């Protein structure tokens, strides 16, 4: 019978045969696929692997540390890079959503190439390509285009690497099983999807370090609340949006004008369509109070009750 253990054994052998004594570079996104791949490669070729995690400064609160604490003890030779200054200065004053995506994609490639030069030369580039991705990009225009539009992790064609893609024949569920076997913490294994451009597309308009800081704190209250109330796994994705709207509030005897934030949670199968999640009022009440009490830059919290279509999951 074909157990996750068999799959791992076979993949480890394949990787060793392909890579030999070569050096392998892997970009870590913090998601389940690249994290699992790093564990597999570490098991197969040890320190011939260099895994690079670029922190663009638009991640969730504590995400870089979470990845470090998950992967390093399991033997992954992991380099993490705080590139927040690079990304935030490139984004300064840019409000258009597609322009923000392009800039982040461009800076990501720059940062990755820089790290590749620092720790290289490398013979192989590893990617966590799954079977559905293989089908999709073989299957002509539509789907592949949507993907490339969304894919910030895309790499330049002129990098002279040979590709290693051990998961090319696997489905997501199989990767999750392998992840469990290899010891990837549950919090990463079952994590919601998170977009490559990160919080930049959840800050409507231009991005500043201050706004990222506000949104990180709001998002953290929302997401840890979902976990606390046992609702995290019942939602497919959940996010907070920082709007540029200033709304009136009362603080003691004074009127204040502070930011409006929106919370969004959806149920979905693949993100192509989605229903707004019917979260319990008690939960919404609790997180709303926590947000306005702890994040002083925010005076009002709303919940998004729009499904996709017509609304997208993200606000930008």
Which residues in this chain contact ligand XMP in the complex, by CB under 6 A?
A: 101, 150-152, 193, 195-197, 237, 271, 308, 312-314
Residue 23 Cβ vs ligand XMP, minimum distance, rounded to whole Å: 27
Q: How far is the CB of 12 from ligand XMP (least distance, A)?
A: 29
Q: Which parts are annotated binding residues for ATP?
A: 29-35
104 in Cβ contact with 56 (< 8 Å): yes
Gap between the Cα atoms of 315 and 124, Å rounded = 37
Q: Between 110 and 308, whose beta carbon lies closer to ligand XMP?
A: 308
Pick between residue 220 and residue 314 the one whose CB is nearest to ligand XMP: 314
Tell me whether residue 42 or residue 277 sits nearer to ligand XMP (CB atom). Answer: 277
Q: Is the dihedral of CA 216, 233, 190, 307 positive or negative?
A: negative
Structural tokens at position 213:
């800081």
What is the smallest separation between the CB atom of 305 and ligand XMP, expressed in angstroms?
A: 16
Residue 95 CB, nearest distance to ligand XMP (Å)?
16
Calculate ∠ Cα 207-213-217, nearest 5°.
130
3 state SS of 240? strand
Residue closer to ligand XMP, measured from CB, 33 or 124: 33
Residue carrying the six token digits 């800081």: 213
CA distance 1 to 206: 54
Nearest CA among 99, 118, 95 for reference residue 107 = 99
Q: Which residues are annotated as a binding site?
A: 29-35
């Amino acid at each position: 019978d074909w157990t996750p253990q068999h799959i791992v054994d076979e993949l480890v052998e394949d990787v060793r045969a392909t890579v030999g004594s070569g050096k392998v570079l892997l970009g870590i996104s913090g998601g389940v696929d690249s994290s699992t791949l790093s564990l597999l490669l570490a098991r197969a070729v040890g320190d011939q692997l260099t895994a690079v995690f670029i922190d663009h400064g638009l991640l969730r609160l504590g995400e870089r540390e979470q990845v470090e604490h998950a992967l390093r003890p399991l033997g992954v030779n992991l380099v993490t890079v705080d590139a927040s200054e690079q990304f935030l200065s490139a984004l300064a004053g840019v409000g258009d959503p597609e322009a923000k995506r392009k800039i982040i994609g461009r800076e990501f490639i720059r940062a990755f190439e820089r790290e590749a030069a620092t720790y290289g030369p490398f013979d192989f580039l590893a990617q966590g390509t799954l079977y559905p991705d293989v089908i999709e990009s073989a299957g002509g225009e539509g789907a592949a285009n949507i993907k490339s539009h969304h894919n910030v992790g895309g790499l330049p064609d002129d990098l002279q690497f040979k590709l290693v893609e051990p998961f090319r024949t696997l489905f997501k569920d199989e990767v999750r099983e392998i992840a469990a076997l290899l010891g990837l913490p549950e919090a990463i294994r079952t994590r919601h999807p998170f977009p490559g451009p990160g919080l930049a597309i959840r800050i409507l308009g231009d991005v500043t370090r201050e706004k990222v800081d506000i949104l990180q704190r709001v998002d953290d209250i929302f997401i840890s609340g979902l976990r606390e109330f046992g609702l995290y796994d019942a939602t497919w994705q959940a996010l907070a949006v920082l709007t540029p709207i200033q709304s009136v509030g009362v603080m003691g005897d004074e009127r204040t004008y502070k930011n409006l934030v929106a919370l969004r949670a959806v149920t979905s199968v693949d993100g192509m369509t989605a229903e707004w999640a019917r979260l319990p009022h008690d939960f919404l009440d609790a997180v709303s109070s926590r947000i306005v009490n702890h994040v002083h830059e925010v005076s009002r919290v709303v919940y998004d009750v729009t499904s996709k279509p017509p609304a997208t999951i993200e606000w930008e």
